[in-house]
Amino acid sequence: MEIKLRNSPEKILTLLLIVVACLVIFNSVGQMIRFLTGHGKIFGFVPLFHLNQEGNIPTWFSSGILFIAGALAGMIALIKGKMEDTYYLYWIGLCGVFIFLSADEAASIHETISEPLRKLNLGGLLYYTWIAPASILVFFMGLIYLKFFWSLPKRTKILFIISAALFLTGALVVESIGGYLDDQSGRDTPVYELFSGIEETLEMLGVSIFIYSLLDYMKIEFGNFRIRLISDKSDLDDG
């Protein structure tokens, strides 16, 4: 049995951007109601769509799209491996990174890992102590992946740069500003919520564009590909 997959990157990106826009709007409305009226729940609406809260719709959406990005990178790795492509291990690496990020988004693993660093009592832009080691890891990963990056088609390189710039600006730069605000006045302020909303929005946009770039790359490299499922003895005999 064969399943034909028709790759439509533009439609998928449009769908993802619509979902991101809806989540941002719902979060903004919820936070405006919260700070203007003092009501922090509104029948569960505010926490359900709060971008800076765990275990709700935005969290699971973010975790889900990170997992999809990892799965797509893994699919590319499998195909490239069968083609004996030089760079298939890099795709496996990307798969692992995004699967980890998906789990981290759902379970806040980075908070647990960075707990020992809190003893350093860093403040200001390094109030969230995990940002420093994360930035170092990103730098070295960039160096490791440089050769792989230059091997990609020009269009894919541009899309990777855009997605990485959006995601890392949110995850590292805006997050560090949020840490500074948290250090100075706590999290329960409109300004902190504004920056945490910007951070999450940039991350979701970055991952959405990364998914688009992977689908677009697959379309360039493989076209509308097929998956063959061996379901019975006749299929085995035919194969």
Q: Provide mean pLDDT across the span 168-194.
A: 92
Summarize the confidence of residues 24-45 as an average pLDDT.
86
State pLDDT tens for residues 112-130. Answer: 666 666 667 677 788 888 8
Is a pLDDT exceeding 70 seen at residue 131?
A: yes
- The answer as to whether 238 is a domain residue is no
For residue range 140-167, list pLDDT tens digits in order.
999 999 999 999 999 999 999 999 999 9
What's the burial of 132, exposed, middle or buried (CB within 10 Å: 0-12/13-18/19+)? middle
Q: Is residue 150 part of a domain?
A: yes
- Closest of 173, 178, 165 to residue 207, by C-alpha: 165
- Residue 113: per-residue pLDDT: 65
Average pLDDT score over the chain: 87
pLDDT exceeds 70 at position 99 = yes
pLDDT at 29 over 70: yes
% of the chain at pLDDT higher than 90: 64
Domain that holds residue 132: 2-233
Say what the pLDDT of residue 109 is. Answer: 76
3-state secondary structure of 48: helix
In the block, residue with structure tokens 């730069």: 173
Nearest to 42 by CA among 29, 55, 53, 52: 29
In a domain, 91, yes or no: yes
Stated pTM of the model: 0.88
> What pLDDT shows up at residue 235?
42
The sign of the torsion formed by the CA atoms of 133, 139, 143, 147 equals positive
Looking at residue 121, its pLDDT comes to 66
Is pLDDT of 6 > 70?
no
Residue 239 lies in a domain: no
Residues 231-236: contacts with CB within 8 Å, 24+ apart? Answer: 231/1, 235/1
- According to DSSP, the β-strands at 2-4 and 226-228 are antiparallel
3-state secondary structure 120-173: HCCCHHHCCCCHHHHHHHHHHHHHHCHHHHHCCCHHHHHHHHHHHHHHHHHHHH
Could you give phi then psi for residue 111, rounded to 5 degrees? -65, -40
DSSP state of 13: H
Between 218 and 225, the higher pLDDT residue:
218
Q: Which two tokens stand for residue 64?
A: 């889900």
For position 232, what pLDDT does the model report?
Answer: 47
Cα 121 from chain centre? 29
Residue 212 falls inside a structural domain: yes
The verdict on residue 151 lying in a domain is: yes
Query: How many domains does the chain divide into?
Result: 1
